[in-house]
Structure 1
Amino acid sequence: MSGRYRRFCPPPPNYKTLLEAKYKDRLKRLQYLVKIVNRPLLIVLHLFADDVVALKHWIDMIYELAAPEAHGAEMDIFVDDVYGAYVFNEYEFNFYRSEDMGYSMESPPLIYGVTAEGRVVFFGDLEGPHMPTIESLKEFCEQLTMGTIEPPPLCPVKVLHVDLASMNKLIYSESLDIALCLYSSLQNGTEVNKNCMQCLETFSDKLKQEPIRLYKMDTHGVILPKKFQVESTPALFFLQGSRKHCPILCKYNLNLQGMLKFVAGNASTELHHYNRLGHLRLYVELQMHMEDYFGKN
């Protein structure tokens, strides 16, 4: 049931027989997806095709939704195992599914809507997938067909500058988790500083859906508090919301993946889009593949 799946590896058990013949008048498999979108799509991805019986409840719900008198006449509806999502990125398709990652046979499917203009919207919010009901899915489909559906609002995270004089007020009065990058302006123009600052800006974009504050501070000519003294800069510290008095020093390389792994692993609560190892959650990665796919129209 658990394992890593790639496009050219064997699919999970029961993959080819996921949909019984009685469903095929309304529901399609992803292999029949046409890239050029001219009307809304609903894409329902099951996490495990291994146990078709366990999936019957969800498939019956989607089949009801796909009736011509419901939404089947105005949109195309696709049902598949996550393995079928290789169509969105055939040569880079690669994902790992496991009950250890919060997914089980009882997990609801991952559901995505695609507007007639090719915009991808996830059936969920920043906290993750919603539990589908026939009523909530009907509302989702109505918004798709009317073009009124909106993704969850994001809060851009800016890299804010802090100095020693304002450090206590800005950092210790903040209730959210904080990542603080220490650098020395004496190193401006050096490769190490340029790389770190570039990674920091990219990192801030990755955190736009996360409850994290991001600061940087120039240490040149500054006597830092003992808890923040380091042998060299740049250096990255993390301060948990309720434990600001215990800053944690990053031991990873200060590249993008190192920063993500460090912050995701030490955050007070798990990040919305990343697991504790700093890896994108499956539903987020799938949406990114879909956005790239439909964005090429």
Structure 2
Amino acid sequence: MAEKNKFEKIDEQIEGYTLERQPGFERDMEPKPIYEAEYYKGSGKLTGKTAIITGGDSGIGRAVALLYAKEGADLVLAYLDEHKDAEDTKAMVETHGVKCELYPFDVKKKEECTALVDYTLEKFGKLNILVNHAGVQYPTTDFVSIPEEQVRETFETNIYGIIFLTQAALPHLGKGDSIINTTSITAYNGSPELMDYSATNGAITSLTRSLAGNLAKDGIRVNAVAPGPIYTPLIPASFDQEKVEKHGGTTPMGRRGQPSELGPSYVFLASADASYMTGQVIHVNGGDFMTT
């Protein structure tokens, strides 16, 4: 019997089109990502705050959750169906003395985004930080052959979900609160094999800037983080073993980044340290410089 893929890629049928299982499971990755910045010492920057983190079960979402917990925030970790990863993250978060709830949902569905916000308010009575991090990517080198189902899946997950969830959250956010979107280096450099994915990140970046201008009068800040090649479950779910092993090797730093190296940027943008920042994107990419 052939050895099972360690990442447990599961085929998902979407209107007759087969997509490999995304965004993936961290529990089966070898080697494991580095998700905790052990050097990081919290200083109460987010004490009394409540945050929703989509894609919060693993990868960058897990790293952000751990640092938010160290800074004193209560959390709702929203994710698709990676239950074991989510339970592991919840256990880690709660060691820091904060409260953490798990919420499996489909970010593509507006009614489920609304239900997530309602659940957060029911559990914690408030919402202060929204981290829109859920996303998928399906490599395709032939633009003409990109299936309609893939385009819809990618756009509905990556950008529709941000719009729906932010619409649900906004009535409950106020002065000093923060929205943080995850975009990508591909929004700036492009990607010949992630064309539809890159387009969604361009949309996320534009939405971040536009919404920031719209909400500035209300004192709600909207910013984003643009990761470069970061070792998360999405990588082995997207590429073959050879590409995974070479992932990030062409950056000036000569390596891929780890989720732990992203977390501090999300803390900064959520905290009062970034009180005079809105409509901005922090680039964490190992020196892959952006073209403006």
TM interval, short-chain normalised: under 0.3
Structure having the higher helix fraction is: 2
**When the two structures are superposed, what TM-score results if normalisation uses the length of structure 2?**
0.25
Q: Look at both structures and tell me which one has the larger radius of gyration over its CA atoms.
A: 1
**When the two structures are superposed, what TM-score results if normalisation uses the length of structure 1?**
0.25
